[in-house]
Structure 1
């Protein structure tokens, strides 16, 4: 103890002994929201040799660990050390930053106070009329020349997420290009508490895009947490009020809307003629802002919905539409899929309802080809009668599907050679393209739609190609609503592991 105090005294004395050499303290990081991304920065001081920024969105750092965005900057510009990304932020985002500064051959680290995006500077460069920093320069794209000093990115490979395990085995799994240890638990959600953890999950508040398989729902914030379970229960428009009429009224989600691609379609609807309001209200949540990964195993313990024309959403969806904006050009993986009807058969009498579980990949919108890259298994009872553990393992060769620890099928890669529609784009990826990018987790419940119930199914009250499909579905509610004996999706936990 005495030696430690003496050491502190020597450090203090050394700081005072030479006025030209000062002890350095990292200043608070400044966040600026730009038109196409954001910038974090600290001011330059003589003696700074390089600066590393580590940034997380909506997820605090537990230690000095790599961030969602991590780069070391070797050169300052106009008396600022800064890092820019092209990730757009939302007003409810919170940015966490820790900074590593090399100052006069010594290293300093500091975790900054969390910064709410709503409190950050917006458009400072464009509003001032003149910018002291070149506007929106991506660090990896800054030109190098004799007359131009620019920041460069480090070529050092970031460390694994958890270095504490001395027996860390190499893993195929990556998180934002960072390596992890094989078998490591990389995500876990047990839904404790009474509300969603906003640092992990975010509601989708929107109408489905008007594409070939749009569901007949409005996704809103009607999920519940109770007794360690997530519960998403769909309900009818107007709570089945006798005066409810989906052919009348307007819907405008306003600032709450979380449109993905087309706000005019996803955020508002004016009912007229064949255009109706969504017949069903439900919920859909995802980890897009907080957690995504490439290759791994996902487990979900859940009780699936029971009720005609419902289906659960236990999905892996692409973080970026790397292969284009067309429906499913970048793929979708289904951890578990169920047509939740109590009794549902094809025209030839084959059972396809709630006793048949599916899992695998979706690569096209057409309902007749929807199951082409999925496998299935049957049980004597509806899968929604009890909890089961649904698992999808995703590697660089195949998808493996399990239920309660039993494998029921695999889906091989090589989709570029099988599906002609996107062959040229997927050919630029690896054998698993489009499943060679990062994906995030989505949970929810949907109803009806143009893609998941082929027209050959008996007793189906709408035709997929009909512009009035949602209206016909609504008009038949007196037949199918009585079957919604347990329409909620209940999720006990979600876990993801490195492989």
Structure 2
């Protein structure tokens, strides 16, 4: 049986239904005010990928009791376009609909590609397209919506993006690092003296031998020695001044001088943030190769934009998409490069209250040996961590919220502010993306660690000389920095 639709140029389209176990998805029809119609067809099963979608409707008068010729007003006909979010959308901006009008329609979908037959005596060829039909459906125009309203192809989502509306399943941020995009990323240039982990780094945007580069489709963030930069200026890390005032991205932390054991950060590193993009709820995927080397660790984070619950010690929270400490051989396994951790951090001093999920890589491999896809799904109900598509951690706050997981010893004056939020507080605000490399600090590496060479960790986390003691041990840790860079292949954020 053939379903004759119409002629275009020198072809007559002939649609040939196929007999198979397949159900054409139901379409969603939306009438627009003052003119227009949208018809959305959801995606089909993966076993039947669609190649085209045709809507063919006859428009009848308001309150028409019968599908009769005398009630016919016009025809609505055309092919739909494939949508980036999935499904197919047919639009006609010119048809004028009225309430209670009736549309009698057919839907045809194709799962293949057609053939052009030989021309007939009039020089016209049949174009035969195999597919599936839904015949004799009826839609009554019961409402007319603003053309700027959410379309039927744009599903409701809990995801929010600063400054715009988004749809379920929409890719709301993506960078494959074909080049460095200043419109997407800001390179940090400051001294993080108020960073709750107090890493032994300054973040600098260097013009020569930069810490942040893009090459061969990969973002590279490279830590360097501050002393190497100082030597070019005949300065010493033990007595010099680090002045990042020009171009400083954090005005309160732009310069410092070494005085006694309080030395400037011994490591220069890179950090980028999605300065113009922030979101609430969604799934972030980061394909990355993590740094290896003693006392290194990556920063693959979601950080709060407004810090409405406070800024001290992660009071407004931070979401670690993935974190692996760089030591390849250490006496306590959880601090080595085969131990993946991540998830929500509410208070940097008490992170062990939430860090009870981990994933150890199989065999003798290390996480930093190769690229992996690190994912974090953040919803109003839970936080789910995955690596290479495999779930390894799930945080579900329940009725009392994530804050209830913190023991009393972790709570301070800031804690009461969390009661102003919902069960996901403080993770119910806009967060932005951060990528970087940090070193040492007073949180990530416990006291008492030793490397495989039985060399003790050179600083105490509560010691006044932490950064100085770390620098004095350079001859032991620096030779292990054979792969100190964070490499990022892509970042992608998808709405729920």
- The alignment's TM-score, normalised by the length of structure 2, stands at 0.63
Structure 1 Cα separation of the partners of residues 271 and 327 of structure 2? 20
Tell me, yes or no, if structure 1 residue 198 matches structure 2 residue 190. no
CA offset at residue 178 of structure 1? 4.6
* Alignment match, 1:310: 296
Say if 1:254 and 1:352 are closer, same or farther in 2 by CA, change over 3 A.
closer
In 1, Cα distance between the equivalents of 2:319 and 2:226?
Answer: 29
Query: Residue 222 of structure 2 corresponds to which residue in structure 1?
Result: 233
Corresponding position: 1:187 with 2:179: no
Residues 429-438 or 236-245, more deviating: 236-245
Once the two structures are superposed, the pairs formed by residues 58-97 of structure 1 within 5 Å of their partners are none
For 1:157 and 1:344, the matched residues in 2 are separated by 62
Per-residue CA deviations over 1:196-242 (Å, capped at 9, x if unaligned) read 21111001101112455211001012201100000011111233888
Return the offset for 1:287.
0.8
Distance 1:418 1:410 in 2: 14
1:38-77 equivalence runs, <5 A:
none
1:352 partnered with 2:335: yes
TM-score, normalization by structure 1:
0.63
- Contact 2:160/2:281 (CA < 8 Å) preserved in 1? yes
Partner of 1:426: 418
C-alpha change, 1:211 and 1:306, in structure 2 (3 Å) is closer
| Residue 312 of structure 2 is aligned to residue 335 of structure 1 | no
Instruction: Work out the CA distance in 1 between the residues paired with 2:284 and 2:307.
Output: 21
Change in 2 beyond 3 A, CA 1:352/1:159: farther
Alignment of 1:346-385 (within 5 A): 346=332, 350-366=333-349, 369-374=350-355, 375-379=357-361, 380=363, 381-385=365-369
Q: Deviations over 1:454-495 (max 9, x none)?
A: 113222110011111001001111111111111100000000
Q: Match for 2:245 among 243, 254, 263?
A: 254
Secondary structure of the 1:180 match is coil
Gap runs ≥5 in structure 1: 1-155
Deviations 1:435-458 (A, max 9, x none): 000000000101011111111322
CA deviations over 1:403-437 (Å, ceiling 9, x no partner): 00000011223123233334311111000000000
How much is the aligned-residue C-alpha RMSD, in angstroms? 2.2
- Following the alignment from structure 2 to structure 1, what is the Cα–Cα distance between the partners of residues 347 and 156? 34
Partner of 1:213: 197
The structure 2 residue matched to 1:394, chosen from 347, 354, 378, is 378
Cross-structure match for 2:436: 444
Counterparts in 2 of 1:387 and 1:494: CA distance versus 1, 3 Å: same
Query: Quick check: 420-429 or 213-222, which moved more?
Result: 420-429
Unaligned 5+ segments in structure 2 are 1-144, 206-210, 451-455
